[in-house]
Amino acid sequence: MSTRRTAAPVRVTPEGLGWEPSGRWVRGRTKGVTVVDSRHPVLVWEPGVPVPLYAFPREEVRADLLRPAQHPRTGTHTGSRIFYDLRVDGEWLENAAWTFPAADLAGHLAFEWSARTGRGLDHWYEEEEEIFVHPRDPYKRVDALPSGRHVLVEIDGTVVADTRHPVLLFETGLPTRYYIPREDVRLDLLRSTSHSTACPYKGTAEYWSWRGGADIPADIVWSYPEPLAAVAAVKGLLAFYNEAVDITVDGERLARPDTHFGAALSARSADRAP
């Protein structure tokens, strides 16, 4: 007779922090120095923040490289009271680490990820795989499925993509993204940009902007030239932000979704305006 094991539910502290132990071996490095080497990390979800972070037992952290922060970032990270500066290669990185006030997480330290906040540790690994931006959420799923749907993309009334061979990417909590073969995209209507982003689920993306004169946000098209293995089907294909273009699937015009990406596109365009 076998016994089926079920995962323990995420625990929630009185401060509203969700947390659960992770079985992954996690390491964090910066400037070639391993600051975190933990086989007992804890995943933590802060209230109102859609992605998790890691906290680590203090004994699995190079605490000798830390000092109480000279200018603590009060009011951040769910009431955290104690922040630490990190010294690596003769340089102090301010507010690189902190503790949570929750009793459940006593004795644990969390660290900033430079790819997400612009400060902190810049290389992270789960087992032997490098991960980017933030830990992958065990409750989030990403599926890239080849499809026979007819997908039409228009910008300001101009057809820029028309395909019957898309790859549909389904990601928990986000609108479906439609990845289109390059031969089915009017690349002459787009220009490549220097913008790039990293995603812990898909990899590093490159971007294009619309060449037309309409008031269209910059960087509305992207592609993963070397995606992570889990979404290999989107390699080299182009996707358009549903928030900024008109997409028709099998004859049905999709409503533009309201997401934080739409706000970010508008803000980025405003920053680049003359």
| pLDDT for position 236 | 98
Beta bridge partners of 66: 86
The per-residue pLDDT for range 81-115, each reduced to its tens digit, is 799 999 999 999 999 999 998 899 999 999 999 88
Residue predicted with more confidence, 76 or 137: 137
On whether residue 3 sits in a domain, the answer given is: no
Give yes or no for residue 120 having a pLDDT over 70: yes
What pLDDT is recorded for position 270? 55
Please tell me the predicted confidence (pLDDT) of residue 56. 98
Tokens of 68: 């109480």
**Is the per-residue pLDDT at 3 higher than 60?**
no
Same domain, 160 and 38: no
Angstrom distance (rounded) from CA 247 to CA 149: 12
Mean pLDDT computed over 66-94: 88
Residues 230 and 171 in one domain: yes
Reading phi first (left if > 0) and then psi (alpha if -120 to 50, else beta), residue 95 is in: left
Distance separating the N- and C-terminal Cα atoms of the chain: 71
Instruction: Give mean pLDDT, residues 178-190.
Output: 98
91 and 163 co-located in one domain: no
Q: Where in the sequence is the domain holding 45, given as residue range(s)? A: 11-131
Is the pLDDT reported for residue 233 higher than 90? yes
Query: Do 164 and 264 sit in the same domain of this protein?
Result: yes
**Is 122 found in the same domain as 170?**
no
Q: Which CATH number fits the domain that encloses residue 20?
A: 2.170.150.40
Same domain, residue pair 160 and 250: yes
Predicted pLDDT of residue 271 = 52
> For the chain, what is the domain count?
2
Q: Which of 100, 131, 162 is the last residue of a domain?
A: 131
Question: Phi-psi bin for 75: left (phi > 0), alpha (psi -120 to 50), beta?
Answer: left
pLDDT score of 78: 77
Mean pLDDT of 30-54: 94
Residue ending a domain, among 80, 98, 131, is 131
- Unique residue bearing structure tokens 């430079």: 114
- Residue 136 resides in a domain: no
Last residue of a domain, one of 107, 131, 155: 131
Task: Say if residue 67's pLDDT is above 90.
Answer: yes
